Structure 1
C-alpha cells in the first residue's frame, strides 16, 4: 500500500471513531441547549475550558515523547512505555489528591462556591483521561486502530447514554413520580452537573477497557530514559499549553472579559460555545488526521521521498478542510437547528471559527519540522507567540466586539503561527510545499462562500440551491486535482 493510501486509511479509521463518537457527543449539544438556559450551559463550557489546560499539563507532552523514543531504536518499546506509564500514574494521583483537598477554596475562587464537587469530578476525569492517553498512544503506534475505535466509541456511548438518562429520562420520571427508582436519580441541585457525572463514569469505563494495555507496561522502568523523555517532552507541554490558550482561553475568559453582569456573561459564553460546536466537522477531521499523522510522519521521516510526500499530504488535507468549511457555511440554515433557538444569535461566528480551525490544521501539518528535527523548544516559541497574540486580542477585542472578537482572535493567531512555522520549517526541515496551490484552495473556498452570500442576498436564490451550486463548483476543482495528480504520477 502506498504511504498516502496507508495514511488515508488510518485517518479514515480514526475518523470513523471521531466522527461517530463526536457525532454522538454532538447530539448532546441540541439536547443540552434545549434543556438548559445559556447561562447554565456556559458553566459546562467554562469547566471544560479549564480541563483543557490541565489535560495538557497532566500528560506532560509524553505522548509525543513516547512516539519519538519508541521509534529511536535505543530502548525497547516496552521500556519506553513502562517508564512513561509509571510517571503518569504517580503525577496524576498526586494532582487528584491536591484538587480533592483544595476543592472548596478553588470552587470559591472560580465563583462556584456552592459546587465544590465540580472540582472533584473534573479532577478525577482528568486523571483517568491522562493515564488512558498513553494506552491510546500505544494502540496508535502499533496501528491497532480497530481496538482504539472500539474503546473510544464505548466511552463516548456511555457518556452520551448516561447524560440522556440523567437529564431527560430521570428528570421526566421525577416530575411524574419522585419516589420511583428513576425519579430518585434526578437531583435538581445537581442540574447541569450530571454532565460531569456521566463523563466521569465513561472515563472510568475507558480505563477498565484499557487495563490489559496498562497492566502490560507496569514492569519496565528506566530512570535515565525518564530524564531524556522529560527533557524532550517538556517543550511539548509548553506547546500544548500554548495550543490550549489559543484554542480554549476564550471560553475560560469570556465570563471575565465581557462588559455585562455575570449572568449575562455566562449566557453569552453559552451562546458562543454552542455555536463553536458547529465547527465540529473541521475539528473532527483535524483530530483524525492527528491520530494517524503523528506516527506516520515519524515512521516515514527517513524515506528519500518524505518531503514530497509531506507536501502532497498538505495539499489533500487543505482540500478536505475547505470542503468541510463550505459544507457547514453553505448549509448553515440546516446546521443551525443543532442548537436551541436561544443560541442562534451567535451564528455569525461560525465561518470565522471554521477558517481559524482550517489554519490550525495547516499548522498541524507544518509543525512536523520541529518534531522531526528535535527542535521542540523552537516549536514552543512559535506557540508562545500565538498565545501572546490570543491573550492580547482577547483583552482588546472582546470588551468591544463581544464573542465575535474571540473568533477573530483565533483566526489572527493561527494565521500568524502558520506563517512562522512555514518560515522556520523551510530553514530547519525543508519540505517542498506547494504554497501557491494551498493558498489558492483556501482563496477559492472563501470566494465560493462570498459568491453564495451574493446569490442569497442580491439574487434571492433559495439557500439550498445556492449552496449546492457552490459546493459542486468546488467538487469540480477536487476532481481536476485528482486527475492532475494521476496524470503526473503516470508521466
Structure 2
C-alpha cells in the first residue's frame, strides 16, 4: 500500500475520533463560559495546565520508547509488559506522594478549601498514565478503529457527566425543589464537576482496556527496561518542555499579571480563546498519533526519506488551509465561547501558527529518534522552554495575555528552525523547503489581504474572504499538479451515483 495513503488513512481515523470527540467537548466550552465567570474558569485553565505537564512526567517518554523497541525486539510483548509494569509502579508512587503533600499543594494552588480537586486530578493522571501504553500498543498494531472507539467512549462519558451535573441537576433543583437531587449533587461543588467528569471517564477507559492488557503475559526484563529508559529519558525532557511551552503561560500568568489587572480574569480569557485553535490542535494530534509509529516502521524502506519529505510538505499545506479557514470564518467559530470572552479573539492567529510550527517540529523530530540521538531533542526542547520563560516574564506583565500569545509563537518557530538545521547534519532529508516557504508566505499574504476587507456585515465579510481561500487551494493544486487526482476523485464520485 502507498505509505502516504496508509498514513493519511490512519490520520483520518484518529482525526475523525478526535474531531467528533472535540465537537462534543466544544459543547462544554460555551457551557463553562456561560456557567462560570472568567475568574472561576481561570482556575480550571490553571489546574489543567498542571495536569498536562504531570501526565508527560508520569509517562516519561515510554510511548516513544515502546515504539522504538517493539520494532527492534523480537518479543514486542516483552517490551510492552516491561514498560507497563514500570508505569504502574511510578503511578502508584505518584499517588502516595500526592496524598502525603495534599495540604501544602492545596495552599500553593490557592484552593485550600477544595482539596477534592487535587485528589480527582491525581487519580485521573494515574489512570491516564497507566492506559497510555495500552493505547500506544493499539497504535503500534495499527488498530486505529479500536483506539478511536475507546477515545470516543471516553469523551462521551465526560460529556454526559458534565451535562448531568452542570445542567440537568440544577434544572431539577430549580423546577422540582421537592425532588432529593441534593443527595447526589452539591450546588457548591461548581467547577469540581469538571474534574469529576474526567476522572470517571479515565477510570472507564482503564476498565475497557483490561481485555487488551490481560492478553499479555507480564514479565519484567530489567536489562530491557534500562535500555528503554536510556532511550526515553531525553524524550521525557522533550515532552516536558513541549508541554511547558504550550501550558506554562497559563500556569504562570496569574503570577505575572499585577493583581490590579485581575490575573485570573485574563487567564480565563486567554484559556477560552486558546481553545478556538482546537481544529489545528486536532489535526496535529491526529497526525502525531499516526506519524510516530509510521516513521519507525517506514525507516527500513529504500525511499523512506522521500516519503518523510512528502509528508512534511503536505502536512504544512493542510495546516495552512486550517489556519486560513479558522481565521476567515472566525465569526462562526467564536460562538463557541460567551461574548464576554470575545475580547481575546486577537490571540487566535498567533496560537494557530504556534500549533502549526509545533506540528512541523514534531515531524522534523524523526531525525533524532531514528538515529537514537534523543539527547539532541532534549537540548532543543530546553532552548524552547528558556525562550518561553524569558518571553513570558518580559511580555506578559506589559502586554497581558497577548504577551503569552507572542511568546508561544516565537518559541515554536525558533525550535522548528533549530531542529531543521540540526537534522540536516545528522539525518539529512531533502525537504522541499522552497515550496514549503512559498506556501507559508502565500498563506500569510492571503490572510493579511483578508484583514483589509472593510465590510460590516459578518456574513458578507466571510463570503468576500472565501475566494481568497479558494485562490490558495487552486495555487496548491496547480503547484502540486493535483488536477489529475482531483479529476479521478470527481470521476469516481460520479460513477458511484
TM-score tier (shorter): over 0.9
- Say what the alpha-carbon RMSD is for the aligned residues: 1.7
2:216 corresponding residue in structure 1: 217
Helix, strand or coil for the counterpart of 1:29? Answer: helix
- The answer as to whether partners of 1:169 and 1:182 remain within 8 angstroms in 2 is no
2:329 corresponding residue in structure 1: 331
Spell out the pairing of 1:454-465 with structure 2 (5 A cutoff): 454-456=452-454, 462-465=460-463
Name the CA distance, whole Å, in 2 between partners of 1:42 and 1:260: 14
Name the CA distance, whole Å, in 1 between partners of 2:178 and 2:199: 26
- The answer as to whether partners of 2:331 and 2:458 remain within 8 angstroms in 1 is no
What does the per-residue CA deviation read over 1:120-154, in whole Å, with 9 as the maximum and x for residues that have no partner?
Answer: 11100000001111000000000011110110000
Spell out the pairing of 1:289-304 with structure 2 (5 A cutoff): 289-304=287-302
- TM-score of the two chains, using structure 1 as the length reference: 0.96
2:129 corresponding residue in structure 1: 130
Shift of 1:177: 3.2
Q: Does 1:227 align with 2:226?
A: yes
- The answer as to whether partners of 2:280 and 2:355 remain within 8 angstroms in 1 is yes
Name the CA distance, whole Å, in 1 between partners of 2:447 and 2:34: 29
- The answer as to whether partners of 1:174 and 1:186 remain within 8 angstroms in 2 is no
Please list every run of 5 or more consecutive structure 1 residues that lacks an aligned counterpart in the other structure: none
Name the CA distance, whole Å, in 2 between partners of 1:485 and 1:106: 59
Name the CA distance, whole Å, in 2 between partners of 1:424 and 1:475: 32
Shift of 1:465: 1.7
Shift of 1:183: 4.7
1:347 corresponding residue in structure 2: 345
Q: Does 1:417 align with 2:423?
A: no
Aligned residue pair count: 485
Please list every run of 5 or more consecutive structure 2 residues that lacks an aligned counterpart in the other structure: 486-497
- TM-score of the two chains, using structure 2 as the length reference: 0.95
Name the CA distance, whole Å, in 2 between partners of 1:230 and 1:179: 58
2:106 corresponding residue in structure 1: 107
What does the per-residue CA deviation read over 1:179-231, in whole Å, with 9 as the maximum and x for residues that have no partner?
Answer: 52445433122101100001101001000000112223352221110111111
Query: Against the structure 1 CA distance between its residues 458 and 334, is the aligned structure 2 distance closer, same or farther, given a 3 Å change threshold?
Result: closer
- The answer as to whether partners of 1:107 and 1:113 remain within 8 angstroms in 2 is yes
Q: Does 1:66 align with 2:70?
A: no
2:466 corresponding residue in structure 1: 468
- The answer as to whether partners of 2:238 and 2:377 remain within 8 angstroms in 1 is yes
Query: Against the structure 1 CA distance between its residues 460 and 164, is the aligned structure 2 distance closer, same or farther, given a 3 Å change threshold?
Result: closer
2:254 corresponding residue in structure 1: 255
2:489 corresponding residue in structure 1: none
Shift of 1:459: 12
Spell out the pairing of 1:142-161 with structure 2 (5 A cutoff): 142-161=141-160
Spell out the pairing of 1:140-289 with structure 2 (5 A cutoff): 140-217=139-216, 219-261=218-260, 264-289=262-287
Shift of 1:97: 1.8
Name the CA distance, whole Å, in 2 between partners of 1:208 and 1:431: 43
Query: Among 353, 356, 369, which residue is 2:354 paired with?
Result: 356
Q: Does 1:400 align with 2:390?
A: no
Query: Against the structure 1 CA distance between its residues 485 and 131, is the aligned structure 2 distance closer, same or farther, given a 3 Å change threshold?
Result: farther
Query: Against the structure 1 CA distance between its residues 361 and 485, is the aligned structure 2 distance closer, same or farther, given a 3 Å change threshold?
Result: farther
- The answer as to whether partners of 2:77 and 2:217 remain within 8 angstroms in 1 is no
- The answer as to whether partners of 1:45 and 1:269 remain within 8 angstroms in 2 is yes
Name the CA distance, whole Å, in 1 between partners of 2:459 and 2:70: 56
- The answer as to whether partners of 1:363 and 1:414 remain within 8 angstroms in 2 is yes
Name the CA distance, whole Å, in 1 between partners of 2:128 and 2:447: 38
Name the CA distance, whole Å, in 1 between partners of 2:99 and 2:484: 59
